[in-house]
Every structure is written in C-alpha cells, then in structure tokens.
Amino acid sequence: MTATSSDLQTCERVKMLVGGRWETGGSPRLGPVYNPSTGRVLAAVPFCTADEVDRAVQAAAEALPAWAETPVVERARVMFRFRDRIAAHAEELAALVTREHGKTLAEARASVQRGIEMVEFACGVPSLIMGQSLANIARNVDCETIRHPVGVCAGITPFNFPVMVPLWMFPVAIACGNTFVLKPSEKVPLSAVRLGELLMDSGLPEGVFNLVHGDRETVDALLTHPLVRAVSFVGSTDVARHVYETGTRNGKRVQAAGGAKNHLIVMPDADLDQAVGAVQLSAFGCAGERCMAGSVAMPVGRVADDLVERLARVAGSMKVGPTDGGAEVDMGPVITREHLDRVAGYLDIGAREGADVVLDGRATVLPDRDGGFLIGPSVLDRVEPGMQVAREEIFGPVLSVIRVDDLDAALAVGRGCPYGNGASIFTRSGWAARQFKQHFNAGMIGINVGVPAPMAWFPFTGWNGSFFGDLHIQGIESIHFYTQQKMTMTRWFESPRESHHDPVWKTGKG
C-alpha cells in the first residue's frame, strides 16, 4: 500500500530534538515510515523546514562553548554511560531496526553490536586526542600540538543501518568536544530517536546533540548553514558528491562515503565450500542493501561452472520472508516498494544485455508478497564488465557473475570500476593474495573474507567514487576529522633580575 497525504496526517509524528526538548515540529510536509515486512505505515516523519534546521544548529552553537571546555574525561564518562544504556537496550534497538528497516533479527543484533564498538572507541578519546610535544627544537624553544574541537558538526545517515551508521559519527564528534546535529534517513528515523533518548538519559547537556528529519531541503539547509563546520555523510555516490561539493563550497570540512560495486574473486585453488558460503552472505546478507555487499563474483578459469551452480543452489534455498515479530528467515524485505521495483528492473536489464538469469528472485515463492517488499536472491551469469548490471550499484540481492581467465583479467576489471569500496579474493595462494592486495582498485581488501568491513579502530577507507574527502569515517582518522590542531612554540628568556644561582621562580623573592 502507498500512504496518502491524508493517511499521514492521522499517523503519529516522529519527534525531533532541539536544544534538549523533544517536539514534533510544524512542517506541513510529511513522509511515511513503513514496516517493510508488511508494507504498513508505522509513523509520519516531518520534513523539517530551513527555520527548524536553523533552530537546531543555533542550539548546538549555544551549547558549544561550555561543552568544548568540559574536561575530556567527563565527556568520555558520558560516552561510558551511553554505551551501557545501548547495551542494556540492545534487544529493543535490534527489534526496532528489524521493524522499520526489515533486517533479520540476527543482522539487526550484529549491526547494534558494531555500533556499540564505535561508542567504546569514543570512550577512549582522552588518549586518542592527545597532542605531541618536543623540547628544545631550537635553543630554549619548545613546541607542542593540541587538538581542539571543530565546532558544530552535522551527520547525514542512510537507511540501511539505522543504528550503526549514526554511531559511526556523533559519539566520536561529541567526545572530542563538538556539538552535533543528526539528520537520519527519512525512511528509518525511529532508531535515531531512540538513540537520542538514550544519549540524553546518559547525562549529556541540552543542545549538545540535536535531531532533525527531512529530505534534500533539510540536507541543503545543513550544508549551507554558516555555523556548521563539519559534515559527515553516508549514502549513494550521487548524493555523496553533492554533499561534498556543496559542503566544501560553503567552507565546511566534509567526509562523504558513497556507493560501491564490490568484487569477489574466486581462484581455481580456493576452498570452494568456504568461498560459496562467503559469497552468499556477502551478496545476499542484509538483502544486498549495504555498501560492502559483494555484488560481482569473478570466478577465474575452470572454477566458474561449479561456482555458479553452487551459488544458484544455495541462494535458491534461502528462506525469504517477513522479519518482524522475530521470524526466522535468511533474508528479509528491501526498504520500499519503489526500491523493490528498481531491483527487479535490473533483472530485465541484465537479460536484455545478454546475461543469463540463472536464478530469478522474482520467481521465489514468498509469503505476504502483496504486503511486504519481498524479493528473493538473484544470480546473473556471463555478465560482461561493460553491462549496466556490472557497472551500476543495484543495492539489492542481485549477484552478477563475470567470468575471467586469470587474476590479471580480474585486476583489469577492478581498474575499470568507477567505485572503490571493497574487494575480496578466495585462494590458497599467498602470491595471488599478495598481488590482489597490492593491485586491486579498492580501499578495503579481504583475503578469504566475504565482507572486509573494518571494525571501529580502523578507518572505512573507500576510494574513487566511493568516498569524497580526505579523512575517513572510523578509527583515528575520525578523531582527526572532528578536531583541529593548534601548534604552539614557546621561548622564555631569563630575566635580568634572575641568575643561575637564585632565580625568582625558585626563591620567591622579588
């Protein structure tokens, strides 16, 4: 079902947070928040006006001086309390992710845990934010660097990880002494609201964290606001480019993670059972709605026929269905009816281009097909690198198979890809693994690992059209992104009234 304007007027409105106060906002523009498993509307999300965004940014700016001067250990203690609250409410958060996004409960739990790890990283900010010092870099001259907060920061997050991706951003930013305005995806705002409630319950001062909702109008209001100093973004490449160009044009520091087309190379010597399982989880986990999904498999040489046959068999046996209510399925729905139609359309595009549709997810027998946004896994074989299904990010459970003769041919396919998030190789050969690690055109590499997504302590290092900016999300780079360095050189001269035997600072005599 498609929500009408009158339907939304009767729905519960999603709350926004401005200056420590929860409110529903006055915007006449509303969007639906669906349960993808059923297709029913859960709530109406208000698309904040530029004036409402301004109030949130102003509240963050007013809270900034006091929070920036709060001792770093006290800021870290807020994060410790926040971490404990998330852990205590982890099952509630996972159920909420499943309800508004459609992930399986196991996937939702794993994403919440990865978010908790990022908060734990932020708890260590006192040691991570320290500067450097060196005495006597010249005669009687000492030098030191100290990291200061950037100021008001904004985060714009996607629909595919409603808890995890926001936690990539605001815990580190706030622990570093900044204030923050979060704009979650309008498709999944409920998880962000719950995170905001738990954060405020952790003793964070009013105005340090603010929450607004909306679409491009809201995003542009943040990107052009003169008081916003830094912007973090995760989403599609087209929007990432817009965020980077608009933000930097308006004098802001920007990190913008975009889309991907990730390649999985299977060598003839690979452990095929392990490789098939890893490719299956990479391509079809989270219904393919993640920027680290393995969407292109590249079997090398003679292994191709066996790999395709096995992948079609295991993917075809996956249980697909609604995920709400704790249903035990292998794969849940995609996010909206429009996205379902888009994903299905790529199967027709692939067939027209000459690919073999080995497994058609549209033919999967699915319960509640008319209500939920459900489609099964699909496998397209004999895809060529120039085909649309090989070049464009589908962001759904569709795996394209490009057959190559050798590793050099696989590396060449990678060089031709405009993206550069991740890639993996499955092999027993150390030489092949080393060549792949050194030369594949991507920022995150897996060796016998299906999804080479880094944990909190390492940066999320996309390349090319997968990332715009200089400092990546996560790891020590996130500390550097949310701080600015100040260097101080100091020289003290001996007073004429002092001597080497009885300096004033030692005797106290004037």
Residues 54 and 87 in one domain: yes
Amino acid type, 408: D
The residue range of the domain holding 352 is 262-447
**Residues 132-164 pLDDT 10s:** 999 999 999 999 999 999 999 999 999 999 999
Residues 254 and 269 in one domain: no
- pTM, entire model: 0.94
Mean pLDDT of the chain, nearest integer: 94
Residues 359 and 310 in one domain: yes
Q: What total of structural domains would you count in the chain? A: 2
In this prediction, residues 475-487 reach a mean pLDDT of 97
**Residues 255-275 pLDDT 10s:** 999 999 999 999 999 999 999
Residue 7 lies in a domain: no
Is residue 153 annotated as part of the catalytic site, yes or no? Answer: no
CA 480 to CA 230: how far, in whole Å?
Answer: 12
pLDDT at 100: 97
**Residues 430-457 pLDDT 10s:** 999 999 999 999 999 999 999 999 999 9
Residues 267 and 158 in one domain: no
- Domain with residue 272: its CATH number is 3.40.309.10
Residues 244 and 266 in one domain: no
Residue 425 lies in a domain: yes
DSSP string, 292-334: T-EEEEEEBGGGHHHHHHHHHHHHHT--B---GGG---SB---
Residue 25 lies in a domain: no
- Domain with residue 214: its CATH number is 3.40.605.10
Residue 315 lies in a domain: yes
In this prediction, residues 64-87 reach a mean pLDDT of 98
CA 358 to CA 309: how far, in whole Å?
Answer: 9
Residues 319 and 214 in one domain: no
- The single residue listed with the structure tokens 């459900």 is 374
Residue 38 lies in a domain: no
Residue 34 lies in a domain: no
Residues 481 and 390 in one domain: no
Nearest CA-CA partner of 156 in 122, 121, 192: 192
Residues 63 and 210 in one domain: yes
Residue 37 lies in a domain: no
Residues 86 and 229 in one domain: yes
Residue 320 lies in a domain: yes
Kindly tell me if the per-residue pLDDT of 500 is higher than 60: no
Cα angle vertex 452, ends 373, 395, to 5°?
25
**Residues 88-113 pLDDT 10s:** 999 999 999 999 999 999 999 999 99
Kindly tell me if the per-residue pLDDT of 364 is higher than 70: yes
Spot the catalytic one: 123, 176, 286, 291. Answer: 291
Confidence of residue 355 (pLDDT cuts 50, 70, 90): very high
Residues 140 and 224 in one domain: yes
- Torsion sign, CA atoms 176, 236, 461, 451: positive
**Residues 212-253 pLDDT 10s:** 999 999 999 999 999 999 999 999 999 999 999 999 999 999
For the chain, percent helix, then strand, then coil, each to nearest 5?
A: 45, 20, 35
Kindly tell me if the per-residue pLDDT of 28 is higher than 80: yes
Residues 249 and 270 in one domain: no
Residues 95 and 202 in one domain: yes
**Residues 191-216 pLDDT 10s:** 999 999 999 999 999 999 999 999 99
